């Protein structure tokens, strides 16, 4: 991909959070678009929370770090790098918090002509204002969408 060619993808987004032995999970399916710009890949899609809450989500991949950007009813920016600690920010209409991710592993495999399925996997410890929110796993299953 040498130019900003957009490709439609179907994706399944799954999050698992473990805190003090309790597991919380949620999953949704949607469509998004993948494009390449200035040596980086971008995956964009909309997350829906509840009845009325929508968030535009962008995942930016440069080959070493994945940046998660959420814009809408929630604003969030967090960088993930395997084996590293990174700072970010989480903002709601009520408050703004500093975040920290101690990332264990990031895997990004885009779908291609040879392999029509791809994935994104992130495992990290997440902290909001210094307080642990548990061990988080994000899994995205990606597949080329039919035209």
Cα separation, 116 vs 1, in Å, equals: 15
**Predicted local confidence at residue 147, as pLDDT:** 63
Q: Does residue 2 lie within any of the structural domains?
A: no
At residue 116, the 3 state secondary structure works out as coil
Mean pLDDT, rounded, of the chain: 92
pLDDT range class, residue 112, cuts 50, 70, 90 = confident
Range list of β-strands (E), the chain: 7-19, 22-37, 40-49, 53-61, 66-72, 75-80, 85-91, 96-109, 117-128, 131-144
In angstroms, the CA 115 to CA 67 distance is 24
Number of domains within the chain: 1
- Over residues 18-62, the pLDDT tens digits come to 999 999 999 999 999 999 998 999 999 998 776 777 899 999 999
Residue 6: DSSP 8-state = -
Domain containing residue 136: CATH number? 2.40.128.20
Residue 88 DSSP symbol? E
More reliable by pLDDT, 61 or 92: 61
CB 58 within 8 A of CB 43: yes
Percent of the chain with pLDDT over 90: 78
Q: Is residue 73 part of a domain?
A: yes
Q: What is the pLDDT of residue 139?
A: 97
Asked whether residue 32 is assigned to any structural domain, the reply reads: yes
Q: Is position 1 within any domain?
A: no
Decide if 80 is inside a domain.
Answer: yes
Mapping DSSP to helix (H, G, I), strand (E, B) and coil, where does residue 121 land? strand
Answer yes or no: are the C-beta atoms of 33 and 13 closer than 8 Å. Answer: no
The whole model's pTM is what?
Answer: 0.90
pLDDT at 4 over 70: no
Structural domain that includes position 54: 7-144
Asked if the structure places residue 125 within a domain, the reply is yes
Residue 59 maps to a domain = yes
């Amino acid at each position: 991909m040498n130019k900003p060619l957009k490709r439609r993808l179907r994706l399944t987004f799954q999050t698992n959070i473990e805190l003090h032995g309790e597991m919380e999970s949620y999953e949704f399916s949607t469509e998004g678009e993948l494009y390449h710009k200035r040596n980086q890949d971008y995956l964009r899609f909309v997350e829906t929370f509840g009845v009325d809450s929508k968030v535009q989500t962008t995942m930016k991949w440069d080959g070493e770090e994945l940046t998660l950007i959420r814009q809408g009813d929630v604003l969030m920016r967090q960088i993930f790098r395997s084996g590293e600690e990174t700072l970010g920010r989480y903002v709601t209409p009520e408050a703004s918090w500093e975040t920290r991710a101690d990332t264990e592993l990031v895997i990004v495999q885009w779908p291609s002509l040879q392999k029509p399925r791809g994935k994104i996997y992130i495992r990290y410890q997440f902290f909001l204002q210094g307080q642990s929110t548990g061990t988080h796993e994000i899994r995205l299953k990606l597949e080329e969408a039919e035209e």
